[in-house]
Chain A
Amino acid sequence: MRFDAYLPRNERQLLLFIAKRKSGVMLFAGGTDVVRAMQRDGMKLQCVVDISHLEKLRHIVVRDDIVRVGALTRISDFKNQNAVENNYKALREVADSFGGPSVANMATVGGNICAASSSADLLPVLLALDASVILRSLWRERTAKIQDFLLKEGKPDLRAGEIVAEVQFEAPKTGMFSEFRKIGRRRSLFMATVSVSAFIDLDLETTKVKRARVAFNALRDRMPGRAELVESALVEKKLERKVIEKAISKLSKEFSAPSDCNASAEYKLEAAKVLLEEQLNHFMEQARGG
């Protein structure tokens, strides 16, 4: 592992540097993916740009009904966000089950997004929250929906000279919930074999579902994606046993994560149904004031 390091003093210096150097440069924040890639997979780098100290890109704030999460927010930062987490438990659930606590203290939101992989725990949550990614370069700022940003496995839509600056999603209001569950081959320090995150916006008086979004870490292939048939089976219905059963039965039609060294396709589908059912049942209990 040998390379040069550049330490920009602020975001502008960073953008200037990566605008000039077109290739061979890797941004280095938490290091949890980059060091692994170098040590284990033999990735060679000429230059890393240490961005871990750019504190202006580390924040979780709510403004104009939008939650804004800076790219250098550490995964463990989600453990101290009462305003957001009372409704969006998913964020805390990701932080609690993410690698070990030391890795969650280092790994960043931006790094997890750019991994664009089925083992990036934040991705199903951000898909279910219908998050947007704010991308900045020296020349412009653009916004991309998270599902459009994830082009394919390991390939985010990050263009030359661009950085992920922020992730944004709708701030929680009464009746809006989001949760996350994952299952793997061990009880701790595991990569998700299957994970699911559901977001639901409920009319608490009638328990009618106004909006529903359900995302898995791997839906049809090895990429995170939304289960739209399940979603439409929930919308405009009262959240009750029969509706939940019907919605879950739709999963067989759109969930086809392939067999791999962790589990068979059949196991994954079954696990996906169970995890989703647990989550929807929990929403139902909350809707009934449980």
Chain B
Amino acid sequence: MSKHSITFVVNRKKHTLRVESHETLLRVLRDRLDLKGAKDGCGTGDCGACVVIVDGAIVNACLMLAVQARNRKIETIEGIGSAKKLHPLQRAFMREGAVQCGYCTPAMILAAKNLLESNPNPSQAEIRQAISSVLCRCTGYTKIIRAIESAASEMRGSRK
């Protein structure tokens, strides 16, 4: 099986590595770069637990080959906040109780972040649409939507 040398940027850091043809971006993020935030759920693009941001758009990392990530900029949950300095979305998810088992949370937060970058004041319908790639079987979505609204409001406030 052939190998390819790829260079890509993950969370503002440049990486060059050799990947196998059939490795998915998800496998490389989790197993090679030790970024365990993106989750391996269904492996077929249905559950959305593996959602990451590639060049400003959310994608399912389980459907993307690692070779397709060459020369691209990738953002994962590890890049948007740290334990010391949480992103407003991360704080809002905690505040509103939007995290239960946590499996979908990284993907939910990335989908929400991606939405708020282009639409800082989304309607509830727009939030529902934006996170519809990601399944959550715990919360019933209510608290997740509330958390995104709360973070959006906080982020708008801090921009003034």
Interface residues of A (CB under 8 A from B): 1-5, 7, 28, 30-32, 35-36, 39-40, 48, 50, 52-53, 76, 96, 99-103, 105-106, 188-189
Q: Quick check: A3 and B21 within 8 Å, CB to CB?
A: yes
Contact of A7 among B43, B67, B128 (CB under 8 A): B67
Q: Which residues of A contact B59 (CB under 8 A)?
A: 102, 105-106
Question: 1/0 contact trace for B3-36 toward A, CB 8 Å?
Answer: 0100000000000000001101000000000000
Say yes or no: B65 contacts A28, CB within 8 Å.
Answer: yes
Chain B contacts for A188, CB-based, 8 A: 128-129, 132
B130 with A50: CB separation less than 8 A: no
Q: Are B132 and A101 in contact (CB under 8 A)?
A: yes
Determine the distance from Cα of A238 to Cα of B119 in the docked complex, in whole angstroms.
Answer: 41
Query: Quick check: B48 and A50 within 8 Å, CB to CB?
Result: no
Looking at the assembled complex, report how far the CB atom of A141 sits from the nearest CB atom of chain B, in whole angstroms: 27
Nearest-Cβ distance from residue B36 to partner chain A, whole angstroms:
19
What residues on A are CB-neighbors of B45 within 8 Å? 32, 35-36, 99, 102-103, 106
Q: Does B82 contact A (CB under 8 A)?
A: no
Asked if A102 meets B48 with Cβ closer than 8 Å, knowing A2-B1, A5-B4, the reply is: yes
Given the complex of chains A and B, what is the CA–CA distance between A50 and B72 in angstroms? 15
| A31 and B132 contact, Cβ closer than 8 Å, known pairs A5-B21, A7-B4 | no
Judge if B148 is at the interface, Cβ distance under 8 Å: no
Q: Establish whether residues B43 and A101, one from each chain, have CB atoms under 8 Å apart when the complex forms.
A: no
Instruction: Name the B residues within 8 Å of A189 (CB-CB).
Output: 46, 132-133, 135
Is A39 a contact of B44 with CB atoms below 8 Å?
yes
Residue of B nearest to A45 (CB): B22
- B interface, how many residues as a size bin? 20 to 34
Q: Mark B75-103, 1 if CB is under 8 A from A, else 0.
A: 00000000000000000000000000000
User: 28 interchain pairs (CB within 8 A)?
Assistant: A3-B22, A4-B1, A4-B21, A5-B2, A5-B4, A5-B21, A5-B65, A7-B4, A28-B68, A32-B45, A32-B63, A35-B45, A36-B63, A48-B21, A48-B65, A50-B67, A50-B68, A76-B57, A96-B129, A101-B130, A101-B132, A101-B133, A102-B45, A102-B60, A105-B58, A106-B59, A106-B63, A189-B133
A39 touches B133 (CB 8 A): no
> Which residue of chain A has its CB nearest to the CB of B19?
A5
How many residue pairs link A and B with beta carbons under 8 A? The number is 88
Q: Do residues A3 and B1 form an inter-chain contact, with CB atoms below 8 A?
A: yes
* Contact string against A for B residues 110-150, beta-carbon threshold 8 Å, 1 for contact and 0 otherwise: 01000000000000000011101111000000000000000
Q: Which of B24, B51, B65, B130 has the most CB of A within 10 A?
A: B65
Query: What residue in chain A is nearest B58 (Cβ atoms)?
Result: A102
Please give the residue numbers on chain B whose beta carbons come within 8 Å of chain A beta carbons, in ascending order: 1-2, 4, 21-22, 24, 43-46, 48, 51, 57-60, 62-65, 67-68, 70, 111, 128-130, 132-135
Complex CA distance for A2 and B3, rounded to whole angstroms: 12
Other A-B contacts than A3-B1, A188-B128, 6 sampled, CB-CB below 8 A, are A35-B63, A36-B44, A48-B65, A53-B68, A100-B134, A102-B60
Contacts of A102 in B (CB 8 A): 45, 48, 51, 58-60, 111, 133
Complex Cα spacing A37 to B21, Å: 17
Say yes or no: A106-B64 contact (C-beta < 8 A), given A99-B45, A100-B133.
yes
Complex: how many Å from CA A5 to CA B19? 11
What residue of chain A has the Cβ atom nearest to residue B107's Cβ?
A102
- Given A39-B44, A50-B68, A105-B58, also A99-B133 (CB < 8 A): yes
The smallest beta-carbon distance between A44 and chain B, in angstroms, is 11
Asked whether, in the complex, the Cβ of A30 is within 8 Å of the Cβ of B63, the reply is yes
Closest CB of chain A to B7's CB: distance in Å? 14
